[in-house]
Amino acid sequence: MNKDIETIVQLALAEDLGSGDVSASLLEDKIIQANIVCREDAVICGVEYAQAAFLSLNQDIQINWQIKDGDLVKLSQVLCTLSGSSRAIISGERVALNFLQTLSAVATQTRLLVDKISHTNAQLLDTRKTLPGLRLAQKYAVKCGGGVNHRLGLYDCIMLKENHIIASGSLTEAINNAKQKFANLPLIVEVETLDQLNEVLTLSGVARVLCDNFSIQMLAEAVSLAKGKLPLEASGNVDNTSIVAIAETGVDFISTGSITKNIQAVDLSLRFA
């Protein structure tokens, strides 16, 4: 089992079980069969997390998955069948479903937006706006939905935003300082105006420019200015209704926190057969 998955599942089980599942203790512990069913169309993600929740409580539980991460399932489709200890299955149910429902929600929302812009060359990026403790899981879910991961954290990429620029005194100074101190890391620079974009385009060492809250007209102009020089990322006010127009400006990337934080859990159910 992946160690990161094992760690986060163990934390979730400890949070839920505490000193023990008093309700499950009322049951006769016998071998039962159960199904997890999806109650809506969705892109599924979180199989390994759900599996770990059950097997951490009883290694003898048999789980027959009928789908894999990234699969599109339909209303009333059975995701898996389980056979094993009634107490262990009912104790692991909520943690298993919590992971499946949340990660499937991320994958489903990502796929929705990716499909909307599939006629363009724009790629959909996630952000650091993830649920605490679930960053790696949610970024994995984004990939299952067809999206692309942005930086994982504050350590693997330099990203200069408005406050970094203000604190440095100028955009050029912030960029030069970043290149000097972290020459081996990719450098992304956020701009809020076309003038700032033009300033960045005169400098070297920048990997990508993020156009923050640009209007559609400004994005189109930015694409014209940066064409053949630097890839552009659009961010801000990205949703189901705006993403197509943004993508059609010709930007290379579109980033949005909505696919990891503005999500609605996929409706799943576990029932004893």
Question: What CATH number has the domain bearing residue 40?
Answer: 3.90.1170.20
Task: Annotate 201-211 with b (16+ C-beta within 10 A) or e (fewer).
Answer: eeeeebebbbb
Residue 9 confidence class, pLDDT cut points 50, 70, 90: very high
Q: DSSP H helical segments within the chain, as ranges?
A: 3-17, 47-57, 86-116, 135-144, 162-168, 171-181, 194-201, 216-226, 243-247, 258-261
Is 231 in the same domain as 121? yes
Is 224 in the same domain as 122? yes
Is 125 in the same domain as 256? yes
Question: How much of the chain exceeds pLDDT 90, in percent?
Answer: 98
Strand, helix or coil for residue 189: strand
Decide if 232 contacts 69 (C-beta within 8 A): no
Is 149 in the same domain as 257? yes
Residue 259 confidence class, pLDDT cut points 50, 70, 90: very high
pLDDT for 120 equals 98
pLDDT for 1 equals 62
pLDDT for 184 equals 96
- CATH number, domain of 163, equals 3.20.20.70
pLDDT for 182 equals 97
pLDDT for 70 equals 98
Mean pLDDT to the nearest integer, 102-115: 98
pLDDT for 178 equals 97
The answer on pLDDT for 264 being more than 70 is: yes
Residue type for 149, please?
Answer: N
Mean pLDDT to the nearest integer, 27-40: 97
Mean pLDDT to the nearest integer, 41-53: 98
Indicate if 212 belongs to the active site.
Answer: yes
Give the total number of structural domains in the chain.
Answer: 2
The answer on pLDDT for 38 being more than 90 is: yes
| Mean of per-residue pLDDT scores for the chain | 97
Q: How far apart are CA 236 and CA 91, in angstroms?
A: 41
The parent domain of residue 123 ranges over: 117-261
pLDDT (tens digit per residue) in 113-157: 999 999 999 999 999 999 999 999 999 999 999 999 999 999 999
Is 268 in the same domain as 253? no
Is 141 in the same domain as 254? yes
Is 45 in the same domain as 132? no
Indicate if 161 belongs to the active site.
Answer: yes
Active-site residue, selected from the candidate residues 69, 190, 233, 252: 190
Active-site residue, selected from the candidate residues 116, 128, 129, 135: 129
Active-site residue, selected from the candidate residues 21, 48, 69, 212: 212
pLDDT (tens digit per residue) in 196-245: 999 999 999 999 999 999 999 999 999 999 999 999 999 998 999 999 99
pLDDT for 163 equals 96
The answer on pLDDT for 97 being more than 80 is: yes
Q: Write the burial class of residue 152 (CB in 10 Å: 0-12 exposed, 13-18 middle, 19+ buried).
A: middle
Is 206 in the same domain as 189? yes
Record the tokens describing residue 176, joined without a space: 């030069």
Question: How much of the chain exceeds pLDDT 70, in percent?
Answer: 100
List, as one string, the DSSP characters of 72-129: EE-TT-EEEEEEEEHHHHHHHHHHHHHHHHHHHHHHHHHHHHHHHTTTSS-EEE--S-
pLDDT (tens digit per residue) in 63-96: 999 999 999 999 999 999 999 999 999 999 999 9
Q: How far apart are CA 36 and CA 44, in angstroms?
A: 12
Active-site residue, selected from the candidate residues 116, 128, 161, 179: 161
Record the tokens describing residue 252, joined without a space: 């290379």
Selection from 270, 264, 212 nearest residue 101 by Cα: 264
Is 126 in the same domain as 64? no
Active-site residue, selected from the candidate residues 6, 94, 135, 179: 94
Indicate if 129 belongs to the active site.
Answer: yes
